[in-house]
A and B are shown apart, each in its own frame.
Chain A
């Protein structure tokens, strides 16, 4: 009989997100790595036998990131590699670490999600990210990343009557919680009025509907059941791992109001964890744009299709509501260092399940979920964690 190996998290670390001109990419990686080792009990760096780095290489001057990170954090000669799935690279790294531990190939694996985006100017990033669609048939028209989500937003508004006010309410919530998170890029509250008056980026999305490009890093240390209990008094376990893909091009998607990879990855995770959407007590979802969080509520089954706008309007995603979402500020307030984001979400869920999230703690949270979307939905990873 095959032994079922549970995989858990025994150490977490989270650096400050934002404008980090003060640090190189390897220095950014060092901060949460050190915290994660200290967070685990009696863990020595030598005990870690692999390092997975989640990052998108195009943003860095430095080539082949795992090499420079592994050297700087002192992991040589241990195994190291990079995973890339656009904005979901951090969750892709976690998934490969999970496979490594589950298979027994490695006992203790460190995952570092890291990104330094502010070496490039905004127009360069807009051009680079705009090429996340089909470069032959789409990018020649000057598509941008916000532009793709604007297509979703226009369609969602048309299909379900979602409003710009409802989208603005997502930003209000996430900045509300972001103001309580010392690692956030933006730690100030905003109002619906201010958001609606902010500059247009890609109609119907305004500046405050969009997350900001940021520098930052986060780290988790993962191990098997046997070691987890020695390395942490309260490990957090991966119960459901979902992962799916969708067509690169919006031109080949079944519709323009949902992300099919998110629906599929969610189904897989719920099935493996044997829970329902209503069992999720705290969630971190990929709010790269406000409309993305509204679609996430629907795609993950927190509410019915088309009711995402109503869900935020009724404050169902606040602490005290049906499913608290992004109570660390989300990408919206924290900033979005693409490779770090999935790991950052996981760190927040671990804090919530351990009950150490302070002012933004969801009372007695036992089951949490992360939803990390890559690109315009080409990749989605949904993980369910339990304490």
Chain B
């Protein structure tokens, strides 16, 4: 889900409560298709505190079809298969172990 400014129609992901363009604070939620293009990636080997157990893990930056960009973990694509410019699908998921975070995303094959 992203946000759309009710006044000027500008679309945001990550969502914003206030429109950057026209400074309006009336926004509506907007559903995303989950389609996007991989812009860059990295595999984290030296992990920050709290992430040691899951390292190494691969992160991608994806430009979303509707507008905006996100960072997420890759899921079913190996580092060797990753190509900048490839089409990918963003899948929203629920964190069961960590209730404070709840929602996260994964980057997967379309």
Contact = CB atoms under 8 A, between A and B. Distances in A.
Interface of A: 122-124, 126-127, 130, 133-134, 136-138, 140-144, 146-147, 150-155, 158, 199-205, 249-252, 256
A124 B49 CA distance: 6
Nearest to B102: A140
B47 A126 contact: yes
B50 A202 contact: no
A187 B66 CA distance: 51
Given A141-B59, A251-B71, A256-B40, A146 B84 contact: no
Nearest to A156: B40
A357 to B, nearest CB: 34
A155 B84 contact: yes
B79 interface: yes
11 contacts: A123-B49, A124-B49, A134-B14, A141-B71, A141-B72, A141-B104, A142-B50, A143-B44, A202-B46, A203-B79, A251-B70
Nearest to B85: A158
Q: Name, among B39, B46, B84, the residue most crowded by chain A CB atoms within 10 Å (CB to CB).
A: B46
Given A126-B47, A202-B45, A154 B40 contact: yes
A161 to B, nearest CB: 12
Contacts of B84: 154-155, 158
A88 B37 CA distance: 33
A144 B57 contact: no
Given A140-B101, A141-B73, A202-B45, 7 more contacts: A124-B49, A141-B104, A142-B44, A144-B46, A147-B44, A154-B42, A250-B71
B46 to A, nearest CB: 5
B88 interface: no
Size bracket of the B interface: 20 to 34
Nearest to A206: B45
A251 B49 contact: no
Q: Which of B48, B58, B73 has the most CB of A within 10 A?
A: B48
A202 B43 contact: yes
A188 to B, nearest CB: 22
Given A151-B40, A154-B40, A251 B69 contact: yes
A143 B45 contact: no
The 4 closest A-B pairs by CB, nearest first: A150-B42, A127-B48, A142-B51, A126-B48
Nearest to A150: B42
Interface string B3-23: 000000000011000000000
A154 B41 contact: yes
A146 B46 contact: yes
A200 B61 contact: no
A151 B61 contact: yes
B54 to A, nearest CB: 7
B49 to A, nearest CB: 4
A250 B46 contact: no
Contacts of A203: 42-43, 45, 58, 79
B2 to A, nearest CB: 12
B42 A142 contact: no
A202 B49 contact: no
B62 to A, nearest CB: 10
B42 to A, nearest CB: 4
A376 to B, nearest CB: 12
A152 B42 CA distance: 9
Nearest to A159: B84
Contacts of A154: 40-42, 84
Contacts of A147: 42, 44, 59
Interface string B97-108: 000010010000
A256 B39 contact: yes
Contacts of B104: 140-141
A159 to B, nearest CB: 8
B53 to A, nearest CB: 10
Contacts of A150: 42
B48 to A, nearest CB: 4
Contacts of B47: 123, 126, 142, 144
Nearest to B42: A150
B52 interface: yes
B42 A151 contact: yes
B46 A201 contact: yes
A126 B46 contact: yes
Contacts of A140: 101, 104
A151 to B, nearest CB: 4
